[in-house]
Amino acid sequence: MSDARAFAAQALERIVRGGVSLRDAFAQFAPRLHDARDRALLSALLHDGARWWLRYDAAVGRLMDQPLRTREPALHALIVLGLVQIEVMGLPDYAAVAGSVDATRTLRRPKFAGLVNAVLRRWLRERDEIGAKLDADPMTACAHPRWLLDTLAADWPRDVEAILAANNAQAPLTLRANRRRTTRDALIARLAEGGCEAAAHAWLPDAIVLAQSTDVTRLPGYADGEFSVQDGAAQLAPQLLDLASGQRVLDACAAPGGKSAHILECADVELTALDRDPERVAAMRDTFSRLGVKPRVAVGDAGAPKAWSNGRRYDRILVDAPCTATGVLRRQPDIRLHRRGGDVAPVVAEQTRILDALWPLVEPGGRLVYATCSILRAENAAQIAAFLARHPDAAPLADFASEFGRPDGHGRQNLPGDGGMDGFFYAVLDKRA
């Protein structure tokens, strides 16, 4: 287990200082751990460590006169993780301290064992006093960056506390049953036989909510393509597209293919799955072959259709736009460490460019569904209001998916944790015939 802690410290240091994604950092270190429990511990340490970094990094700043942040960054991360194990993960104090001290040997820094021990024990003595100081500043109280706190307070003044709490909680694991391969009830029964407790979602037709998080690739039915992992909020696209057999459909930002696959599981449409990122397109092809669906796949820029389209229009276009991903912080806690306030305006401009380039490709009488996993109004309600002002031939659908989130401008916004789901926005735009 001390190896897991040492690898977690090295991986977290890369996430925080090197800008590496949590997913990539985990993929780099997990293969070195041969026991599944060690890999589970590594994953938990990285998720909780990234989620709570801004609080416990500041705590170490108060515990040490000269923190090791720049001199010995992996040791610094090891100490932060020690605090996270004590305060967030609920490990017994002695286990967190002894495990962290042991990990100094795996990191080949045994001479720091005494220092790590002393700092963690000082925390145990002074946690109330230092904790109160951390609680006095909203940034260290809830471990969110200042720019995001300010933006959320401006966009969602009444909901900001609930959003922060949801971002700091564990997200449930939700699956999507593949209608082409099984039924939801049959899959729930198969999972139960394999010892996995699962229940049908209350109103989403394909969604299954698991009682406990698990390695889904080991669940019965995974290799047979009977299900995918997909939050409930992302499972609305087919119903909002109002699909019918034979339609020409474009999924313009398709990789890694979750919504494209869902569309083809639901309807016999002629689907083009487009994305600009070749690596993500390769992952998308794997997803399609596991699930047994066969869209046309294209690599290209949705904002420059001449390069990949033959000029024919589409009955339906889904724009699951690149966004700040501020609605999925509970699942991807590294986003709060990597995203900057200055990222918002360029992302909004890119969404605008894609929307304006694709709207002419919608058949009159057809429909464009706009989606983001953001909770920032600039990317959602304000983006759509500006689009409607530029395109008088677009008519927003007023009433849709009343179970989902709340109305906001001409769309619906789910805030993180609402209905147990991620933060997500949808707008449905019909083109006047």
Q: Is 395 assigned to a binding site?
A: no
CB of 33 to ligand SAM, least distance (A): 28
**Contacts with ligand SAM: how many residues (CB under 6 A)?**
19
Q: Is 373 a catalytic residue?
A: yes
Report residue 50 CA to chain centroid gap: 13
Binding mask 312-351 for ligand SAM (x = CB under 6 A): --------x-x-----------------------------
Residue 305 touching ligand SAM (CB under 6 A): no
Q: Which listed range, 1-9, 19-27, 67-75, 272-280, lies at the site for ligand SAM (CB under 6 A)?
A: 272-280
- Quickly tell me which residue has 């034979």 as its tokens: 246
Parallel/antiparallel/unpaired status of strands 198-200 and 207-210: antiparallel
Residue 236 touching ligand SAM (CB under 6 A): no
CB of 256 to ligand SAM, least distance (A): 5
Q: Is 275 assigned to a binding site?
A: yes
CA distance 265 to 263: 6
Q: Which listed range, 137-145, 192-200, 220-228, 268-276, lies at the site for ligand SAM (CB under 6 A)?
A: 268-276
Using an 8 Å Cβ cutoff, are 272 and 295 in contact?
A: yes
1 contacts: CB under 8 Å, gap ≥ 6: 37, 38, 41, 99
DSSP H or E run through 249: strand 248-251
Q: Is 215 assigned to a binding site?
A: no
E strand segments, 292-409: 296-299, 314-320, 362-372, 394-396, 406-408
- Among 99, 258, 405, 411, contact with ligand SAM (rule: CB under 6 A): 258
- Among 276, 331, 367, 377, contact with ligand SAM (rule: CB under 6 A): 276
Q: Which listed range, 35-43, 125-133, 170-178, 248-256, lies at the site for ligand SAM (CB under 6 A)?
A: 248-256
Residue 63 touching ligand SAM (CB under 6 A): no
* Torsion sign, CA atoms 147, 152, 158, 164: negative
- Among 275, 315, 334, 422, contact with ligand SAM (rule: CB under 6 A): 275
Q: Which of 360, 384, 379, 259 is nearest to 303 (CA)?
A: 360
Using an 8 Å Cβ cutoff, are 286 and 228 in contact?
A: no
SS percent in the chain: helix, strand, coil, step 5: 50, 15, 35
Using an 8 Å Cβ cutoff, are 45 and 4 in contact?
A: yes
Q: Is 128 assigned to a binding site?
A: no
Q: Which listed range, 18-26, 49-57, 107-115, 271-279, lies at the site for ligand SAM (CB under 6 A)?
A: 271-279
Q: Is 419 assigned to a binding site?
A: no
Q: Is 257 assigned to a binding site?
A: yes
Q: Is 301 assigned to a binding site?
A: yes
Residues 351-370 that bind ligand SAM (CB under 6 A): 354
Which two three-digit tokens encode residue 222? 């995974």
- Among 138, 220, 292, 303, contact with ligand SAM (rule: CB under 6 A): 303
CA distance 46 to 242: 40
CA distance 420 to 400: 19
Residue 277 touching ligand SAM (CB under 6 A): yes
- Quickly tell me which residue has 């596991």 as its tokens: 290
Which two three-digit tokens encode residue 352? 């605008």
Residue 280 touching ligand SAM (CB under 6 A): yes
User: Binding residues for ligand SAM, per CB under 6 A?
Assistant: 234, 253-259, 274-277, 280, 301-303, 320, 322, 354
Catalytic residue annotation: 373
Binding residues for S-adenosyl-L-methionine: 253-259, 275, 301, 320
